[in-house]
Amino acid sequence: MTMTDTPQAAPKTVDRSAMKVSDEVAISIENMNKWYGAFHVLRDIDLTVYKGERIVVCGPSGSGKSTLIRCINALEEHQKGRIEVDGTVLSSDLKNIDRIRSEVGMVFQHFNLFPHLTILENCTLAPIWVRKTPKREAEQDAMQFLEKVKIPDQANKYPGQLSGGQQQRVAIARSLCMRPKIMLFDEPTSALDPEMIKEVLDTMIELAEEGMTMICVTHEMGFARQVANRVIFMDQGQIVEQNEPEEFFNHPKSDRTKLFLSQILGH
């Protein structure tokens, strides 16, 4: 890793001035249920996300938080209930699903970059094939986003040559190249070395500062406190508690939340 792409060591101060929650609905989930075979993994989920919201979803493993955000872009199918993303109701129609997916960016725990393509090709692939952007324009665009995540000098390398933190930042840039209206983060820092978590979180903070609508499944409670406007706690496939971060962390209402918080913040 070169010196230029190492983020500053000092904790980033979050500028909340541009983070505005509008009245427009970005995602609405009504009475959504999902089963894996006989296992009832999501139960009666009701959630409305407004444009500009930064929502952190936390909870013990197996509580259904990843499954919840994977239902939003139809990586998982829900069996009951209604999901509406950016005005489009999610149905089993493939064109419908592809349209929603091109509007919703997703960042995975294990980056899932395409190892046979260079960093630049990873970023331009979807704009060129899905959005039909001309190649040159897509490349210029991609370079802008790679600069934003501070790795333009790696554009012609392959994912395997980058560190975990760099790969995850590329994954974020790759999603941004589609100019998504909503970003979903599925434990983006869980597979990273402690040193690299910060560079990824800083990128996510910058994104939030620009007013991106975000739903993050994460265990980074510092990030939740600083950036989120709403924290959702899930257990056994249900939303147990949701609140503003201050209230959520300082005065949790349910006993299950208190137990969870005491365990992850206890040491």
Partner 1 sequence: MSDTHAQSAAFVRESFIPQSPPPARERGILKWGRENLFSNWFYTLLTLVSLYVVFSLLSGFLPWLFSGVWNAGSLSECREILQGVDAGCFAVLTERWNQLLFGFSYPTEAYWRPTLAFILLFVCAAPVLFSGLPRKLLILTLLYPFAAYWLLWGGTIVVPLMALLGVVLGYVAFGATVSRGFATALVAALVVAGIVWWVGIAVAGAVPDFVALMPVPSRDMGGFMLNMMLGTVCVSLSLPFGILLALGRQSRLPIIKIACVAFIEFIRGVPLITLLFVANVVLAYFLPPGTNFDLILRVIIMITMFASAYIAEVIRGGLAALPRGQYEAADALGLDYGQAMRLIILPQALKISIPGIVNVAVGLFKDTTLVSIISMFDVVGMIRGPILASTDWNGVYWELYGAAALLFFVVCYTISQYSQWLERKLATDHR
The footprint of partner 1 (CB under 8 A) covers: 73, 75, 94, 98-99, 101-102, 104-106, 108, 110, 112-116, 125-126, 129-130, 158, 160-161, 174-175, 178
Chain centre to alpha carbon of residue 241: 20
At closest approach, how far in Å is the CB of 29 from partner 1? 18
At closest approach, how far in Å is the CB of 114 from partner 1? 6
At closest approach, how far in Å is the CB of 266 from partner 1? 32
- 81-116 exposure pattern, b = at least 16 Cβ within 10 A, e = fewer: bebbbbeeebeeeeeebeebbbbbbbbbbebebeee
CB 124 within 8 A of CB 130: no
Return the number of the residue (14 or 117) whose C-beta is nearest partner 1.
Answer: 117
For 37, how many CA atoms within 13 A lie in the half-sphere containing its CB? 1
Query: In what helix (H) or strand (E) does residue 172 lie, and over which residues does it extend?
Result: helix 164-176
Return the number of the residue (12 or 99) whose C-beta is nearest partner 1.
Answer: 99
* Cα–Cα dist 217/113, whole Å: 19
Return the number of the residue (36 or 114) whose C-beta is nearest partner 1.
Answer: 114
At closest approach, how far in Å is the CB of 131 from partner 1? 9
Return the number of the residue (158 or 249) whose C-beta is nearest partner 1.
Answer: 158
Residue with tokens 């590329």, as numbered in its chain: 170
At closest approach, how far in Å is the CB of 28 from partner 1? 20
At closest approach, how far in Å is the CB of 243 from partner 1? 29
Cα 66–Cα 227–Cα 243 angle in degrees, nearest 5: 70
Phi-psi category of 34—alpha, beta or left, where left has phi over 0 and alpha has psi -120 to 50? beta
At closest approach, how far in Å is the CB of 170 from partner 1? 12
User: What contacts 83, CB < 8 A, 6 or more positions away?
Assistant: 27, 28, 29, 30, 32, 71, 72, 89, 90
* Cα–Cα dist 241/259, whole Å: 13
Return the number of the residue (118 or 144) whose C-beta is nearest partner 1.
Answer: 118
